[in-house]
Amino acid sequence: MMISFYPGPSRLYPQVKAYLKDAYDEGVMSINHRSEEFMAISRKTVALLKEKLNIPEDYSVCFVSSATECWEIIAQSLVREKSMHVYNGAFGKKWFDYSSRIKPGAAPYPYEAQEKLVHDYRVWDSADVICLTQNETSNGTEISNRLMHAIRRRYSGLIAVDATSSMGGVYLDFHTADVWFASVQKCFGLPAGLALMIYSPAALEQAREINDRSRYNSLLFLDEMMQRWQTPCTPNVLNIYLLMRVMEQRKSIIKVDAATRNRYRKWDAFFESGEQLKHFIKNPSVRSKTVLTIEGSTDHIRSVKQQAREAGFLLGEGYGELNESTLRIANFPALRQNEIARLMDFLSRHR
């Protein structure tokens, strides 16, 4: 089987195979989503997420179907008129596009991918919600915890963060924002079709003031159903079960973070010394720890992707306009040490 280094959907935890069999044998796939069995799975999954990811006690967690859905929920339930979309790449831009179709007052605040984000309070202060993409999967950049702290200190409005390709892979200080979301096909090592939304008491308060109840997935409905460990619609019960099983065997995020950074440092040095394959992001201080974007000549990039495929590695395509000039490599926890070593060995002949 091809080893997927694609930054999502990506390699599954190998244990998923056994968990799927257990789910089948235990009848999990046919349980009713209003049953005690489901509520127990849901409650346990939330408890494990809170424990293993260091989610603050007073924050809530709910289950939705995708990160894209979270973009819409935020626009519907938390934005009065204006969301401020601070982005340097394709996912942040898409979030802006989705929001502006729902709340036309959405404002773009693009910044340069190669440079550290400089916050602009006079402009941002006018927004109900500031929308940040903590890990921009399309170009391999991140906003550090330290910068998140600095933003939090200076800004009093709600902050919503897309952490789809970093949550579960690196330590995130959830106190630095009000809403965090991620889908599970990236750092959680699970199949697509489930996402988590984590929100603070202040986010819930703002949702109550706005009182949007026009959609099945309005945050207030999600929150009310979650009081009984349920969801408004029939959720992806199988994936919630798999998430529970994966979180059971996971180490604390502090340990996972250390391992991710350790592996990242090796990849970082590997491409620092590359000649034909180099970091696309030149400024090391903004590089993502979970997604590497590597550039080269169009011919070389095409040939490396092709040869990697023949050698059993699926590399990530460049995203959008970077499609031909870059490739991406996931540094997600489910990847095995020996798989990374084999990919490095392969790439060392091409870099």
Ligand X SMILES: *Cc1c(COP(=O)(O)O)cnc(C)c1O
In contact, 310 and 321? CB cutoff 8 Å: no
Does residue 162 bind ligand X (CB under 6 A)?
yes
Asked whether the beta carbons of 290 and 170 are under 8 A apart, the reply is yes
Q: How far apart are CA 344 and CA 12, in angstroms?
A: 20
Q: Which is nearer to ligand X, 144 or 276 (CB)?
A: 144
Q: Which amino acid is at 148?
A: M
Residue of the chain from 4, 133, 231, 331 that contacts ligand X (CB under 6 A) = 133
CB nearer to ligand X: pick between 31 and 288 = 288
Residues 1-20 that bind ligand X (CB under 6 A): 8
Task: Tell me how far, at minimum, the Cβ of 300 lies from ligand X, in Å.
Answer: 25
Pick between residue 46 and residue 195 the one whose CB is nearest to ligand X: 195
Site for ligand X, residues 275 to 334, rule: CB under 6 A: none
CA dist 159 and 177 (Å) reads 5
Of the pair 77, 133, the CB lying nearest ligand X is at 133
Torsions phi, psi of 153, nearest 5? -65, -35
For ligand X, the closer of residues 13 and 87 by Cβ is: 87
Q: Which of 10, 76, 77, 137 binds ligand X (CB under 6 A)?
A: 137
- Please, how many CA atoms are within 13 Å of residue 293, restricted to the half-sphere of its CB? 29
State the amino acid at position 115 in one-letter form. Answer: E
Q: Tokens representing 72?
A: 């819409």
User: Whole-number minimum distance, CB 199 to ligand X, in Å?
Assistant: 17
Choosing from 164, 231, 236, 326, the residue that interacts with ligand X (CB under 6 A) is 164
Nearer to ligand X, 193 or 274 (CB): 193
Closest approach, Cβ 265 to ligand X, in A, equals 22
The residue among 98, 77, 78 whose CA lies nearest residue 87 is 98
Q: Which residue lies nearer to ligand X by CB, 31 or 184?
A: 184
Read out DSSP for 244-303?
HHHHHHPPPHHHHHHHHHHHHHHHHHHHHT-SSSEES---GGGB-SSEEEEE--HHHHHH
Residues 90-119 that bind ligand X (CB under 6 A): 91
In the complex, minimum distance from the CB of residue 303 to ligand X, in angstroms, rounded to a whole number: 26
By CB under 6 A, name the one of 42, 45, 60, 68 that touches ligand X.
68
Q: What are phi and psi of 208, to 5 degrees?
A: -65, -40
Q: Exposed, middle or buried by CB within 10 Å (0-12, 13-18, 19+), for 36?
A: exposed
Which residues contact ligand X by CB under 6 A? 8, 66-68, 91, 133, 137, 162, 164-165, 183, 195
